[in-house]
Amino acid sequence: MSKMENIVEEVIAGNVAGVAELTQELVDEGAKPSDIIKDGLVAGMDVVGGRFKKNEMFVPEVLIAAKSMHAGMDIVKPLLTDGESSSVGTVVIGTVEGDLHDIGKNLVAMMLEGAGFEVIDLGIDLPADEFVEAVKEHQPDVVGISALLTTTMPAMEETIKTLEEAGVRDQVKIMVGGAPVSQEFANEIGADGYAADGSTATDIAREFVN
């Protein structure tokens, strides 16, 4: 097995020290940082996402895999040259006002990072205006909105309306998610996409930027 294939395996296994060590070895051997990201770290998280979707891996394992991926990213990111950006696109993500749930949203954010997106995580309990400010400041390709309560689902629609009123709605693709959210609801409130898990969210975000 090559060192690159080893990185993939160690990301899946969530071996933080192992991923860091292998990443450093590949760097020392002259491997291209962008290749290490694409063929090692991101490739590993892709497998993790697929397994999570099929219920072959669970939340704690995904979190530790993401941590190991970050250990490698920390080493290679500073080495990327200007023309060799690791980012395939930018995503602003957050949980709507009145809602404090963030475990699922964090997972989605990590999967997106694992897929090479730059993710700006705004946190929880966010008034619609904060999404507007973030869109103006970061000019993302995608805005991800999370809600876990039936009582906070209307705040998703409110957020989209506020983005419209601020004149920035058309600059971004909007995806929504969270346990009570459905494709039907997403259509109803005018979102561009819906995903039931981080892996699908990543696929949708990739489609949005292509």
Binding site for ligand B12 (CB under 6 A): 59, 93, 98-105, 107-108, 144-146, 148-151, 175-180, 195-198, 201
- Minimum distance from residue 158 beta carbon to ligand B12 (Å): 16
The nearer residue to ligand B12, 70 or 101, going by C-beta atoms, is: 101
- Minimum distance from residue 19 beta carbon to ligand B12 (Å): 22
For residue 131, give every residue at least 6 positions away whose Cβ sits within 8 Å of its Cβ, in sequence order, or none: 92, 94, 122, 143, 145, 159, 162, 163
The nearer residue to ligand B12, 7 or 12, going by C-beta atoms, is: 12
The nearer residue to ligand B12, 32 or 138, going by C-beta atoms, is: 138
- Minimum distance from residue 95 beta carbon to ligand B12 (Å): 7
Please write down the long-range contacts of 169-173, taking CB distance under 8 Å and 24 or more positions apart.
171/135, 171/139, 172/92, 172/135, 172/140, 172/141, 172/142, 172/143, 173/141, 173/142, 173/143, 173/205, 173/208
Q: What are phi and psi of 92, to 5 degrees?
A: -100, 130
CA distance 12 to 2: 16
- Minimum distance from residue 145 beta carbon to ligand B12 (Å): 6
For residue 64, give every residue at least 6 positions away whose Cβ sits within 8 Å of its Cβ, in sequence order, or none: 14, 16
Neighbours of 80 (CB within 10 A): 15
The nearer residue to ligand B12, 8 or 175, going by C-beta atoms, is: 175
- Minimum distance from residue 118 beta carbon to ligand B12 (Å): 16
The nearer residue to ligand B12, 39 or 99, going by C-beta atoms, is: 99
